Amino acid sequence: MSSTDALDFASEILTGEVQAADPLGADRVLATAPRLNAGADVNGLVAAMRAIAPDLATIDRMTIADTLAALRDLGLIMGSIRRHGPEPLELAPELTPALLALGRRTDMVPRDTILHYTVWNPPGVRQRMYTDDDQEGHLQESVRMVWPDLHAALADLDWLSGLDVHDPDFAPRLDAVADRLQPTVASMTLVARHVTPEFFAFGLRPYLEAARVDGVDYFGPAAAQLPIWLVDKALWATDHTDEEYEPFLLGLVPYSLPRWRRLHERLTGRPSIAGRLVATLGADPQEATRRSPALRAGAEAAVRALRVLVTFRGRHLGIARRVYDLDDTYTEGSGGGSVDLLRQILDLTKENARRSRPSPVVPAPREEIRPA
């Protein structure tokens, strides 16, 4: 199995291995990161990054789990240095070849992504964190709780993208997607209960700045990198996006697992699930669904999945507004999107849910924004 093939199965096979791995002997060094950050000790952080940096021969011998863990650990220190102002590799340019090699081995960008920072980050006493604030741990957990079902939902959507909407298996599998999207809503509840807007705005957001590797700026581990954008692509966005969301979506593709990038390629140019349902429902949805109960069930399942996304996005928008009302230093989120873009994506999701309704019997989704 090649490195890329192994990485494709990272959710099912490798997550525990990556969490357990410490190929750079970084456990003790990274335990000091919150203290170094609290003191803005850039020299100490650079020394820590150099202390754990692998040479190219070591990287060549690494397992796929080790390479992911190595990027996780180097990336956290890079983000720490960047938070305090300097470009990390301007202070330690000799690390550039190692980061590029790790990126090639994993077929991902040459710095840490949201998966490195959360899913592949060991929970408990070995958890890598920028700060010593429990709120950071809750944010990391809010991503971990979404990942298994989201990863499975994408596999379902991949299968559904080639399935006839009249097929009796279509609606049950799309219902399963709606179920698998529910943890996104629960994750926003966790964040609202345990993370203050002040902490995210001033305590964590500065660590998520882009850093330059070999002349290219790479985003920090932003939650936007989770493939909810790819769920959009499959459900509605291949044929009903807009001129602002499409560039944002394309900007997230490089931060994906290889299998997600291939799914994105397969979906590009195809009609979305909602688009196919709308076309099949035609001008008389009631008549179309009377003739095909399977079609009606599929349309109802699509609306249900889209309504979950609407609820998630409504809560996310409410939290984001509170964060960015506190501090206008940042005009964009850590993944490159603005609050206004979040509003547009929410509106697009709601519109596609409305278009997919089989008849007036199914209520239109409503935005749900709960106090954060």
Q: At 113, which CATH number?
A: 1.20.58.1320
Beta bridge pairs of residue 213:
216
Question: Are residue 108 and residue 174 in the same domain, yes or no?
Answer: no
Question: Are residue 175 and residue 256 in the same domain, yes or no?
Answer: yes
Q: Is the dihedral of CA 15, 156, 367, 351 positive or negative?
A: positive
Show the domain range for 32.
Answer: 3-132
Question: Are residue 340 and residue 200 in the same domain, yes or no?
Answer: yes
To the nearest whole number, what is the mean pLDDT of the chain? Answer: 86
Q: Please tell me the predicted confidence (pLDDT) of residue 274.
A: 87
pTM of the complete model: 0.86
361 falls within a domain = no
Question: Are residue 13 and residue 99 in the same domain, yes or no?
Answer: yes
Angle of the 64-83 helix axis to the 42-52 helix axis, nearest 10: 170
pLDDT tens readout for residues 5-32: 445 544 445 899 999 999 999 999 999 9
184 falls within a domain = yes
What is the rounded end-to-end Cα distance, in angstroms, of the chain? 45
Q: Please tell me the predicted confidence (pLDDT) of residue 340.
A: 66
24 falls within a domain = yes
> Is pLDDT above 60 for 372?
no
217 falls within a domain = no
CATH of the domain at 256: 1.20.58.480
- Give percent of the chain with pLDDT exceeding 70: 84
42 falls within a domain = yes
Residues 6+ apart with CB under 8 A from 91: 42, 46, 81
> Is pLDDT above 90 for 57?
yes
331 falls within a domain = yes
178 falls within a domain = yes
The total domain count for the chain is 2
- Give percent of the chain with pLDDT exceeding 90: 64
